[in-house]
Amino acid sequence: MNKQTRKIIGEIFFYILIAIIAIYLIFPFYWALISALKTEGELIAAPATFFPKEITFRNFQAVFTNTAFLRGILNSFIVAGSTTLFSLMVGAFAGYALGKLRFRGRTPTLYTILAMTMFPAVAILSGLFQVIKAIQDIAWLNVPTLVLLILIYMVFTLPFTIWVLTSFFRGLPDSLLQAAQVDGATFLQTFWYILLPLTAPALVTTGLLAFIGAWNEYLFALTFTLQEPGSRTVPVAISQLGGRFAMQEPTGELMAAALIITVPLITLVLIFQNRIVDGLTAGAVKG
């Protein structure tokens, strides 16, 4: 077997492997789509079909007319958007300070932030529940549940955001900071006008990850909205589509709802795809 033949066989196996991986990743979305387009009778029929015999949009119509689901989407946009915005604001300032400024206790602070990312969410659920319950018991505060969810999600998104942005700020040339100081710029002016625009790829990447995490979070949203159904986010709203005492789960509606809530995430990735690639590859090449 000559070298050319081995090269052709290697390429064939490579493309076969790529095709298998693509099918493995795409098939769940395909199955959700065809399930959302099937009638209830076809969904429970055996054997299962890989293409709907009769395409119907009744499941999508049922989801879009469900006020609890629409309210959940709005709540998720508020919570995820606010969590991302506040995390990037605090994370950018903290990343700048930890990455570029010299002060006592900087290294222990960084390792403390890193240690916070190691705790599993369920480990602090009971503690957070007691804290939130104590806040809600103070009548004059009257803190909305959505605000409490934002504060809870920031507990998990802030350490990651600060750590990533610190690494990114640290990778920026010190000559930029020194040149700005020579020109008379303050630390805040240097941060706002010079360094922050250069961190746009990192801001987009970390912001998108924070948004996805807050958008998809279920455990804390379910726990802290049990007594206030109007504050449920979309993952909790989807779990309630079938009703607590339903004899049969509305599989078609669940699949339609699952597809709908992925649209904002896919849209954000498509809009910021260039920035995401720049953020992921930043610092990969030195020089």
**Sign of the CA dihedral with 217 first, then 218, 224, and 230 last:** positive
* Rounded percentage of the chain residues whose pLDDT exceeds 70: 92
Alpha carbon distance 96, 186 (integer Å): 13
- Write the pLDDT tens digit of every residue in 126-173: 888 888 888 877 767 788 889 989 999 998 899 889 988 888 888 888
- Write the pLDDT tens digit of every residue in 60-106: 998 998 898 999 999 999 999 999 999 999 999 998 888 888 888 88
pLDDT at residue 17 in the model: 94
| Maximum average pLDDT range among 112-116, 136-140, 240-244, 254-258 | 254-258
pLDDT at 245 over 50: no
Alpha carbon distance 209, 184 (integer Å): 36
Number of Cα atoms under 13 Å in the Cβ half of residue 241: 26
Q: How confident is the model at residue 280 (pLDDT cuts 50, 70, 90)?
A: low
pLDDT at 35 over 50: yes
pLDDT at 234 over 60: yes
Give the residue with greater pLDDT, 52 vs 21. Answer: 21
DSSP conformational letter for 122: G
Q: How confident is the model at residue 21 (pLDDT cuts 50, 70, 90)?
A: very high
Give the residue with greater pLDDT, 215 vs 268. Answer: 215
> What average pLDDT does the structure give for the chain?
84
Alpha carbon distance 5, 266 (integer Å): 40
> 66 is written with which tokens?
């469900």
Which CATH fold topology does 64-281 show? MetI-like fold (1.10.3720)
Structural domain boundaries in the chain: 1-56, 64-281
The candidate with the shortest Cα–Cα distance to 256, out of 37, 25, 66, is 37
pLDDT at residue 19 in the model: 94
> 233 is written with which tokens?
């986010």
